[in-house]
Structure 1
Amino acid sequence: MRFAPLFAAFAFAGVLAPAHGLVHSPWDNRPVTLSNVATNCPTQPDLPADLITDGFYRKDDPTHSIVDPVLMKAYTESSGPVKNATHVIVDMADRFRTTGSREAAQCTLKLLAQMARNNTMAGHMSSQQAYYVQGWLAGAMAVAYLKVRNSGFDTPQQAQAIATWLGKLGDSTRAYYEAQEKKRPEQNNHLYWAGTEIAGIAAVANRPDLLDWALATYKNGDDQIQPDGVLPLEMARGQRALHYHLYALTPLVFLAEFGEANGKDLYAANDHALARLVALCVHGLSDPSLFEERTKVKQEVPKNASGDDAWWTKPYAARFPSPAISAITEHADTLSSFYLGGLPPE
C-alpha cells in the first residue's frame, strides 16, 4: 500500500517516543488555572455502537456540491443524536479551557466515559457517509479529551477505557481509508480530516503508529499542492471550490501543529507548499477570480470566514505573523471548528 512508504518518510528517529512516553498534542504544556465556575452537566442518552446514516448531496451532481433537501433531512435525523451528544462534550471541554471550571472538566470526562461504556460508533457503519461521521466525531471527542486530560480529574481506569474505545474508532477509520486508497491513491479533504481524527486519538491512546498514519495523510495533501497553491481535487468542486480549499487547509494546519508538537516541521515540507495554499485561500477570500476562471462558475464566498474556514488562522499566524491572516481571525464570528474539537490551541 502507498501509505507504507509514507510511514518510512515520516519516521521520527526517536521523536515519537519522548522521555515520558507520550505522543504529544498542541494542548499539552498549556496549563489551565482551575476555578469554581458553575457548570450544568446535562444527562445524555446512551447511544448505540452502530451508525446508520447516508450522504446528502444530489446523486446526479458530479461535483458533490449541490445539497438534496430530502437527503439532508434524513441525514440530519439519523446522525443528529450522536452529533448533538458530541457537541455537548466539545462545548464542555472548551468551557474548561476558557474558564478553568472544575465541573466542566468533570462533565467532559463523565460523558466521554459514558460513550466508551456504550461502545458508541464502534460497531457497523452503514455507508461511506457513516464512516465520515464516525471519523469527524471521534476526532472531535479525542481533542475534547486532550483539552481536559491534564485537569487531574480522570481516574486511570477512566483514561484507559476512553483510550481503548477511541483507539477502536481510529483503527476503523484507518482501515476504511486504506481500502479507499487502493482504489484512488490521491484523496481529497476527507483524508486530511481523517488524519486529524487519527492524530488526536494517537495522543489520547499513546499510539505512535496512529500518529505516523496521520502525518502520512498530511503528506498526501501537501504533495498535491500546485505551484500556484491549487489543490486539483478541491478545484473540481464547482461553485464551492474556494470553500473546499479552505476546508482542506484547516485540517492540514491542524496536522502541521501536531507535527510541531512531536518535533516534526511539516510546514517546511515540499518547499513550504502549505504556505502556497494559505496565500491562495487568503487572496481568494477577497478576490475569487482565479477560482471562477478555473471552475467557470461564480464562487460561494463568505462575508467573513468563520469556524471551519478560520480555525487555522490562529495557530498559523502565531508562527507566521500576517496582518491579512490576523484580520480573518478578528472578523470571524467564531474560531471554533466542531470536528476539530472546538477552539484552536490558546
Structure 2
Amino acid sequence: MLLSSRSLHIAVRLLPALLICSSPAGAQDKAPLQAPFHLRTQAGPLQTEQRGAKSCAPAPAAVTRLSITSKYGDDGPQRDTIDPDADAAARNEMQDIRAFSRQVVKAANEYTRSGNPAAARCTLSLLADWRRAGALRQMDNANAEFERVSTLAGLSLALLQVSPAVGREPDYAPTVAWMRELAQAGTRYFDGSSKLKGSRNNHRDWAALAAASVATLSGDRALLDWSARAYQAEVCSAGAEGGLPLELERGQKARDYHLFALSALAPLAAILQSNGVDAGAECKGALHRIVGFTLKALDDPSQMAALAGKPQEAFKGKKDGDGMPGPNQLAFLEAYVKQYPEQGPAVGRWLRLRPFASTNLGGNQTLLYGGGR
C-alpha cells in the first residue's frame, strides 16, 4: 500500500515514539522513563520525621463516582457563556476532589522544596488512602471523564516528585498500578468518543498529559506512545498563524482555551522530549507557533478575535477585566522554557509574573522546573 505524502510525514514524525514503544526486547524498553524536571534524591538534613508526620492531615473521603454539571448550562454550540448556577453546581461537585488534589500537591512540593521524607510519605499515604477506597473509578458523564484526566495529571506528577523517597514503600507499586488503570480508562474513553468535540480538543491534551505522567511512573511505553500520537494530532492541527481550530470555535473564550490547551501541551512536550520524542520539532515547530500566537493575544487579541469570530472575553484578575491572565494560566511556561531555553527571550516578559503554580500540573512549577534560579 502506498502512503500519501501527508501519511508518510506523520509516520516519520512518530517514528521516535514508535521505536520507544514497539520493541519489547530493546535496550530502550528496559531503561526507565525520565521525568521532565529534576527529582530530589536526598533528604534535607534539618528535617525530622516527627515534624513532617504531624503536618499530614487525613485524606478527605474518597470520591469513587462522579457526574459533573457543565458550567455552560444550556449555552449554545460554542459553549462560551458561563451559566452562574451551573458553574456553582460544577464547583460544588468538584470541591472534594480539588481539596484532595491541593493537599497531595502541597505535600509533594514540600518534599521537593525541603527534602523532608515525611512529606514524601504523606503524599503517598494520601494517595494510597484513595486508591484503597477505589477512588475515581466510575465516571458517569463526559464532563466527569474530562475532570478525571486533569485531576490524574496533577496527582501523578505529585507522586513522580516524591518517587525517589517512597519508591520502595509497600504502598507505592499498588498506587502506581491504580493510576495506570485510571490512565488506561482515560485513553479508552477518548478513543471511543472521538465524535464528541470535547474528546478531540483540550481535554484530549489533558488525557495525554496524564497518560504520559503515569507512563513515566509505571514504565508503560504504550501509554507514552498514545500520548505522543495525541500530541502530534493536536499540534499539527494548528494553522500557519498558530491557532488551534477546535479552540478557535469557542468564540469569546478562544483565548482562554488556547491557554488551557497549552497548559497540558507544554508539560506533555517536556515529558516526550525527555524520553526521545522530538516534540518541539513536530510539524515544523508547531508548538512554538501555538505559544507565540497565544501569548500575542494576551496583549492584542484582535487576530484571535478575527479567527474566532467574536471579541475575546477579558481576563479577570485583581481588578475585574484587568487584561492579565492568572499565574495558573501561564504555569505551562516553566516546563516550556526549561525544555526549550532558546524560546526564553520570546516569552521573557511573562516570566516576570513568577512564581507560577497549578494544582493539575503538580503544584509550584517555578519550584519544579527551577525557574529564576
TM-score past 0.5 threshold: yes
- Structure 1 unmatched ranges of 5 or more: none
Contact kept, 8 Å, 2:17 with 2:276, in 1: the verdict is: no
Deviations 1:16-53 (A, max 9, x none): 96475422221355545525174411112331422233
Candidates 141, 158, 164, aligned match of 1:150: 164
CA root-mean-square deviation: 2.6
Distance in 2 of aligned mates of 1:22 and 1:9: 16
Distance in 2 of aligned mates of 1:45 and 1:29: 27
How many residues of Structure 1 are paired with residues of Structure 2 in the alignment? 341
Q: State the match for 2:154 in structure 1.
A: 140
Q: State the match for 2:141 in structure 1.
A: 127
**91 and 80 in structure 1: CA distance in 2 versus 1, 3 angstrom threshold:** same
Q: After TM superposition, list the pairs within 5 Å mapping 1:1-346 onto structure 2.
A: 10-13=17-20, 18=28, 21-27=31-37, 31=41, 33-35=43-45, 36=47, 38-39=51-52, 40-122=55-137, 124-151=138-165, 153-181=166-194, 187-302=200-315, 303-318=323-338, 319=340, 320-332=342-354, 334-344=355-365, 345-346=368-369
Deviation at 1:170, TM superposition (A): 0.7
**19 and 57 in structure 1: CA distance in 2 versus 1, 3 angstrom threshold:** closer
Contact kept, 8 Å, 2:358 with 2:364, in 1: the verdict is: yes
Deviation at 1:272, TM superposition (A): 0.8
For 2:65, the aligned partner's letter is: D
Distance in 2 of aligned mates of 1:311 and 1:296: 27
**43 and 30 in structure 1: CA distance in 2 versus 1, 3 angstrom threshold:** closer
Distance in 2 of aligned mates of 1:17 and 1:77: 48
What TM-score, normalized to structure 1? 0.90
Distance in 2 of aligned mates of 1:17 and 1:68: 53
Distance in 1 of aligned mates of 2:199 and 2:85: 31
Deviation at 1:324, TM superposition (A): 4.3
Deviation at 1:338, TM superposition (A): 1.6
* Identity score, percent: 24
**185 and 244 in structure 1: CA distance in 2 versus 1, 3 angstrom threshold:** closer
- Structure 2 unmatched ranges of 5 or more: 1-6, 316-322
**212 and 17 in structure 1: CA distance in 2 versus 1, 3 angstrom threshold:** farther
Deviation at 1:88, TM superposition (A): 0.5
Contact kept, 8 Å, 2:259 with 2:329, in 1: the verdict is: yes
**17 and 165 in structure 1: CA distance in 2 versus 1, 3 angstrom threshold:** farther
Distance in 1 of aligned mates of 2:250 and 2:294: 15
Distance in 2 of aligned mates of 1:273 and 1:106: 40
Distance in 2 of aligned mates of 1:117 and 1:17: 35
**75 and 185 in structure 1: CA distance in 2 versus 1, 3 angstrom threshold:** closer
Deviation at 1:85, TM superposition (A): 0.8
Distance in 2 of aligned mates of 1:19 and 1:110: 30
For 1:58, the aligned partner's letter is: G
What TM-score, normalized to structure 2? 0.83
Distance in 2 of aligned mates of 1:156 and 1:20: 22
Deviation at 1:126, TM superposition (A): 1.2
Contact kept, 8 Å, 2:40 with 2:161, in 1: the verdict is: no
